Structure formats: structure tokens, C-alpha cells
Amino acid sequence: MNKENIFTILERNNLSCDGFNYGLYEEFSKTIESETEIIHKITEYNNYAKNNNNKYSDEIMQYLRQRNELNKFDFSQDKELNELSSNKVFEEIVKWNGLLGCYSETIKSWVKEIYGVDLNEIEK
């Protein structure tokens, strides 16, 4: 399906024709064949994103979901992910982005040395 067709489908279903919904459509269409079901999933995700009480931004939550072997748009375990400490979230995000080992602590030490802020003492 080309870009124009997806935007036409989004518009026809009164969904915002933006890159985010386009990405959702592409992602959901990998596993869902029904256009109606894809639109339903996009609407469901948009409603969740607007009304959730997540501790972290949607981008951070997507990383955490993927790190936990979920689809980045699968919010079924968000409650558990929100219970992670800020230090654990930072560690998981660093690992998800390819910095393995103790890089989370290394980065925190750089922040402390450069900005004088000890991230280990801050809990969101």
C-alpha cells in the first residue's frame, strides 16, 4: 500500500493524517488484514495515548515495551513498566539503544561530572 492510500484511509476514518498514525497503520497492517480492525487499533491506541497515566513519555514507554519483547504499541504491560524505578528505566533504555554493559552508570557519571547532577539520587 502506498503512502497516499494510507492517508486517504486515515482521512476517510476521521483520523489525523500525520506521520504517527501513518506509522501505526503500517505497523498494525503487518499483522492485521482487516482495514476496519486496523482503524480500530489506531483509534484505541490514540485514545490510550491521550488518556493514560504513564510515568514516562510515549517514546520511552515504546522503548520499554520493545525491551520487554512486546510490540511498541502493545500497552498491556504498561502498569508493570510504570512501576520500574527511574534508574531501571534508564538502564533499560540505554541497553535497548545498543549501549550494553555498564553504560547507564557511565552516562550517569558523565552527567554528574558535567552538570553536577547525580541521576542516582533523582527518582521520578
- What are the pLDDT tens digits along the chain (124 aa)? 555 699 999 999 999 999 999 999 999 999 999 999 999 999 999 999 888 999 998 889 999 999 999 999 999 999 999 999 998 999 999 989 888 778 888 899 989 988 899 998 887 6
- Residue 24 shares a structural domain with residue 75: no
Contact of 46 with 18, CB cutoff 8 Å = no
> What is the per-residue pLDDT for 101?
74
- Closest-CA residue to 91 (of 81, 79, 103, 80): 103
Per-residue model confidence (pLDDT) at position 114: 87
Output 4-9 pairs: Cβ under 8 A, ≥24 positions apart. 9/35, 9/39
pLDDT for the residue numbered 103 = 83
C-alpha cell at 91: 538502564
What is the distance of C-alpha 100 from the center of its chain?
A: 20
Predicted TM-score (pTM) of this structure: 0.74
pLDDT of amino acid 76: 94
Same-domain pairing of 123 and 79: yes
Q: Please give the radius of gyration of the chain, using alpha carbons only, rounded to the nearest integer.
A: 18
Same-domain check for residues 59 and 91: yes
- Do 34 and 63 belong to one domain? no
Indicate if 83 and 45 belong to the same structural domain.
no
Sign of CA dihedral 93, 97, 100, 103: negative
In this structure, are 32 and 47 located in the same domain? yes
